Structure 1
Amino acid sequence: MELADKAVGFLLSAISLSIFTYYTLWIIILPFVESDHFIHRYFLPQEYAILIPVFAGVALLSFLSMFVGYVMLKSKKKSA
């Protein structure tokens, strides 16, 4: 099982690093590149740079709130 845990950890690290690199290039480097350069084909429009993290944050907070509410309701039923 230790090898599987290392493989999953490596995969998650590689995915996180690639997302971080893509986002960094998209937000920090791309505005300084000419708009007719071929590299712009590989990136989404700049508006999505704000919309995607906001949507992900709202979804995460909603999920966490529902989870905490579910756990609180379940623990209240057990104690009663």
Structure 2
Amino acid sequence: MLDRLVGLAMLIVATTVFSYYTIWTLLMPFVDEDHFLQSLFPPRVWAIRIPVILILLASAVVGSFLSVVMIRSNRKKALKAKQGKKAS
């Protein structure tokens, strides 16, 4: 039950973000600058900055995770090799 509720919440958030970003980037350039709808959206330059920042942040997190996993794996292999040499 809880997993369905979480899934539904994630779907609603993803749909809302997608709709907001689509309206902001594809429709708002055709709306007059003095229209009240323009006040609901940040300046257009952020339409590029936000995704770039998120991609860089996600790449850093994934790269750090992979580095930690590889370092731990190599330590385990080195420890096993060291124990194998001591046993013989």
Structure 1 residue identity aligned to 2:34: D
In the alignment, which residue of structure 2 is the partner of 1:7? 5
User: Cα RMSD between the aligned structures?
Assistant: 0.5
Q: Which has the larger radius of gyration?
A: 2
1:50 to partner: Cα distance:
0.3
Question: How many pairs were matched up?
Answer: 78
**Segments of 4+ moved more than 3 angstroms:** none
Structure 2 counterparts to residues 39-58 of structure 1, below 5 A? 39-58=37-56
TM-score (norm 2): 0.87
Alignment of 1:1-80 (within 5 A): 3-80=1-78
SS at match of 1:36: coil
- When normalised by structure 1's length, the TM-score is 0.95
Higher relative contact order (CA 8 A, sep 6+): 1
Structure 1: any 5+ residue segments left out of the alignment? none
